[in-house]
């Protein structure tokens, strides 16, 4: 869930929609529906039993967005 949150909140479109107010995140609805590619990557990592890979996905999305 944290990695999916990181994927969504690091997306420039979603950041604009939230207007810089993270407390509005509830208005996004289903994060897996908003970021299906990210959700798929998370599911693949989970299927391999690699929790560290899931953490690294979230960190990668945040790092890429901050460039």
Is 64:9 a contact under the CB 8 Å cutoff? Answer: no
Is 66:15 a contact under the CB 8 Å cutoff? Answer: no
Helices within the chain (DSSP H only): 2-9, 12-18, 31-34, 36-47, 51-65
pTM of the entire predicted model: 0.85
Token pair belonging to 48: 């391999």
Neighbours of 57 (CB within 10 A): 20
Confidence at 67, pLDDT banded by 50, 70, 90:
confident
Give the pLDDT of residue 50: 85
């Amino acid at each position: 869930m944290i990695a999916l949150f990181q994927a969504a909140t690091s997306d420039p479109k979603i950041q604009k929609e939230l207007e810089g107010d993270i407390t509005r995140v509830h208005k996004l609805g289903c994060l897996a529906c908003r970021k299906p590619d990210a959700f798929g990557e998370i599911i693949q990592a989970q299927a391999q039993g690699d929790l560290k890979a899931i953490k690294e996905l979230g960190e990668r999305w945040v790092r890429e967005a901050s460039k």
